[in-house]
Amino acid sequence: MDYTQYLGVKGSTQHYQLPVAKLVEIALANNEGELSDRGSLAVNTGKYTGRSPNDRFIVDVPLVHDNIDWGKVNMPTTPEVFDRVFNKIKAYLDNKELFIFDGYAGADLRYAMPVRFVNELASQNLFVHQLFIRPTAEQLKTFKPEFTVICAPGLKLDPKTDGVNSEAAVILNFEKKMILIAATHYSGEMKKAVFSAMNYLMPERDVLPMHCSANVGKDGQSALFFGLSGTGKTTLSADPERTLIGDDEHGWSNHGIYNFEGGCYAKAIRLSKEDEPEIWEAIKFGSLSENIVLNPDTREPDFDDKSLTENTRVGYPIYFIPNASLMGTATQPSTIIFLTADAFGVIPPVSKLTVEQAQYHFISGYTSKLAGTERGIVDPQATFSTCFGSPFMPRPSAVYAKILMERIQEHGVNVYLINTGWQGGPYGVGKRISIPHTRAMVTAALNGDLEKQDFTTHPIFNVLVPKNCPGVPSEVLDPRTSWGDKNAYDEKAIQLAAMFIENFKKFSNVDHLVQVGPKIPAGQATA
């Protein structure tokens, strides 16, 4: 097949489905990175060390116009702008070395989307080779892409003439089934652009697309972990006692759950072998390390060094995790955990939600954007991200919330809210809840131990807080006790409750859920 002709690019050299070793060899020869002492290809992505949300667009055409939740997240652009950028990318790629990878988004072939990636960089082609599902030789014989992603990080656009916001752009075109990426070396843009495409398409196929990780226990019971980047989806789902289905993006169909990907993209800042042994061992030859600083003499990675970014990352195929599922599918979930990294330090470390509260918190999607996950984020910022993933959800949130609640009720799923953020004070004063304590809470939620405990209702957040949890000191479970100044805790909790209440006002047809959300005690004022 002539991939140059497919792109309309003449004179370029095309490499199709290169093996990992060859991609690494070419990347090193082209000075795209260096090998760490552990064999991982370490690259520096320059000034784009996270997603660039202000540069992401969806082409506004009649096919999708009435189905998109247009706004600051889903910014519209015109077919003319798309064509202009596409032609500019084609001209730029003329006579260049190109790397093509064909793979699937979706482990369940009943719903899988075939995607073709065309990359300027061998290192980024290594990334998609490891992050998406690799077809068999037989599948490649009849492979026809449903979407095509073209990534030209070396091309800088001109906002004045190209109709974009900066030198960079990520443009999704559902009519032409193409994604264009320019000027950014951050590989996560490809992953999240494909995820956004899946999130638009899957509800039409009766599949709920989810920004969550998933694993399954020895008893066959699966679990979902919802949360934005940095809240612990990857860390908590990589459990030596459970089989990992995937760490970030899944679909929930009438047949069960399935991974959209074939790999993991884990945050590596402050990574330790003691707290995250599975991820630690996955950083080896075949993985791609982004912005992890290496010792110049030993090439040993310094996982505590955040001089390039807090958003250090490593991408690797899922089979680098010893107990990962190679099938990428599991049964209907029995437990759902909503993860929030509360920068206020007032949300209980673990709480049980009723069905109505699950709907309230899914629609609210409270968490903190952590440093580096987006350009310009230096300190954690409190935010509400509907469906725990609004940056990647093109349709109105009600579409996803309705399917989720129907599935929770149909399968009798238990839902918990777990805070992986701060305690003892807000960010800058308190400290993050320890990973061992969080793991113990997760284990108790999954094995049913929490169901056996006595609960109290939090006076402000209105959730059920367990009095005890195996492996966790009882004083940790009550966030107020960890604050030296109890009045300061009350003031900060009321402040956050007011933010919940104000945020929920923007949603229609959900007035009946207001009563199950946070409450401001009578006579108390907000700060």
Give catalytic residue positions.
Answer: 51, 192, 211, 229, 233-234, 248, 313
Nearest CA to 127 among 280, 329, 313? 313
> For residue 415, what are the β-bridge partners?
336, 353
Task: Quickly count: other Cβ atoms within 10 Å of residue 399's Cβ.
Answer: 18
Find all residues with CB under 8 Å of 328, minimum gap 6, and list them. 107, 108, 133, 245, 246, 258, 259, 262, 318
Q: Which residues of 294-317 are buried (b: 16+ CB within 10 A; e: fewer)?
A: beeeeeebebebbebbbbbbbbbb
β-pair type (366-369, 381-384): antiparallel
Say which residues have a Cβ less than 8 Å from residue 150's Cβ, sequence separation at least 6: 7, 86, 89, 93, 118, 178, 179, 180, 181
Cα atoms in the 13 Å half-sphere on the side-chain side of 252:
27
From the DSSP assignment, how many helices (H) and strands (E) are in the chain? 14, 28
Phi, psi of 84 (to 5 degrees): -65, -45
208 neighbors 405 (Cβ within 8 angstroms): no
Q: Are 435 and 385 in contact (CB under 8 A)?
A: no
Among the listed residues 351, 363, 344, 300, the one whose alpha carbon sits nearest the alpha carbon of residue 455: 351
Classify residue 517 by its DSSP letter: S
Residues listed for the chain = 527
Amino acid at 509: N
C-alpha dihedral sign at 132, 258, 242, 452: positive
Nearest residue to 112 (alpha-carbon basis) of 102, 120, 122: 102
Q: Which residue has the tokens 């009798």?
A: 412
The answer to whether the CB of 225 falls within 8 A of the CB of 236 is yes
Whether 318 contacts 328, CB under 8 Å: yes
